Amino acid sequence: MRVQKHAISAPHSSAAYELSSFHFGPCVEKRVYIQASLHADEVPGMLVAQFLRRRLIDLEAARKLRAEIVLVPAANPIGLSQALHGAPFGRFDLRTGVNFNRAYKHVADELKLTLEGQLGDDAAANVRIIRRHARAALGAWRPADDSEVLKKTLLELAIGADIVLDLHCDNEAVLHIYSGTPLAAAIAPLSALMASHATLLTTASGGEPFDEACSRLWWELAQHFGQRHPVPSGCVAATIELRGERDVSEQLAESDAEAILRYLAINNMLDLDDAQPLPAPLCAATELEAVQPLIAPHAGVLLYRKALGERVEAGSVIAELIDPVSGQSSQVCAGVAGVFFARSAFRHVLRGMNIGKIAGRTAFREGKLLSL
């Protein structure tokens, strides 16, 4: 195991942040990148990373790693230092209000220009050229603040990887996964191994999240150059939502870590002794454009009438909102049939707050598809 320290703050800052990455296995071209808790108050991933580190140390000692595996067990030292009146606050940079998992530099448009005349007929060679150009494009990013330095540092660690897994969680949720539509087949075994209840795919979510900054350039470049040169998918990237923010247990973390290792074994990134068959998937992937966010129509005390993971029909009552002053209540109903996979952790909400998500089967939304 090799440890790298990455300075995040400018020299002479009054408070200095540092990011640590742990590198396992041979320094070869094949690379896996796994990071935990980019939203710093989403804790389950950090515990999964502890189990991954232990297992990777053993697998490395047994010479069972076939790729370089990079683990960033606490991806957001800035967010981890933030608290508001006693409550950890890790989703947004308190100085700017910017979400730590949005606004990553997307390099595809730049690469469409710089790669002109550079690609050939050899797909593997093209992958190497594209990765080199992507790193150069990232190198030219001039961050304006510490958060952007963090984003650039994380992306530089991940951009050349074959597999990128970004471990998050929702407020209260069953396990679900976000990834790219062109990666549907590559993500299916991960979805089955992690027992995902909703695997949500899109070609562009509209928010430039981390996983998309690693993967989307490949299908956009394939679309642009594909008639002239072979451009394979060079990166399978996914955001794994490890249930809810309070689902922090050694039992869950250990089984999640094992599922991730099995996925890496299936992709020949490492060798495991027990080759078990893939479990049956809990869901087929659906479009992110088919997810219905449930919005509170007024403030009130929130009572859920459906359990997480439940399949619901259009019109099913998902929750009830009670105005504590008037005593009047109203029902919040599903607009689509699908899986009720995430909900709020609050039990009193304000008008307009997101109180749940249903993975529907038919696309009906466009534009910015991710929550704030």
Which residues bind to Zn ion, rule: CB under 5 A? 39, 42, 168
Smaller CB distance to Zn ion: residue 42 or 212? Answer: 42
Could you tell me the smallest distance in angstroms from the CB atom of residue 209 to Zn ion? 9
**Torsion angles phi and psi, residue 52, rounded to 5:** -60, -45
Could you tell me the smallest distance in angstroms from the CB atom of residue 221 to Zn ion? 27
Smaller CB distance to Zn ion: residue 42 or 211? Answer: 42
Could you tell me the smallest distance in angstroms from the CB atom of residue 17 to Zn ion? 19
Could you tell me the smallest distance in angstroms from the CB atom of residue 327 to Zn ion? 36
Smaller CB distance to Zn ion: residue 160 or 244? Answer: 244
Could you tell me the smallest distance in angstroms from the CB atom of residue 168 to Zn ion? 3
Could you tell me the smallest distance in angstroms from the CB atom of residue 368 to Zn ion? 16
Q: In the numeric block, which tokens belong to residue 239?
A: 């955001």
Residues 6 or more apart in contact with residue 344 via CB below 8 angstroms: 171, 172, 302, 353, 354, 355, 356
Smaller CB distance to Zn ion: residue 169 or 261? Answer: 169
Cα gap 292→337, rounded to integer Å? 10
Smaller CB distance to Zn ion: residue 64 or 102? Answer: 102
Cα gap 195→313, rounded to integer Å? 22
Smaller CB distance to Zn ion: residue 173 or 336? Answer: 173
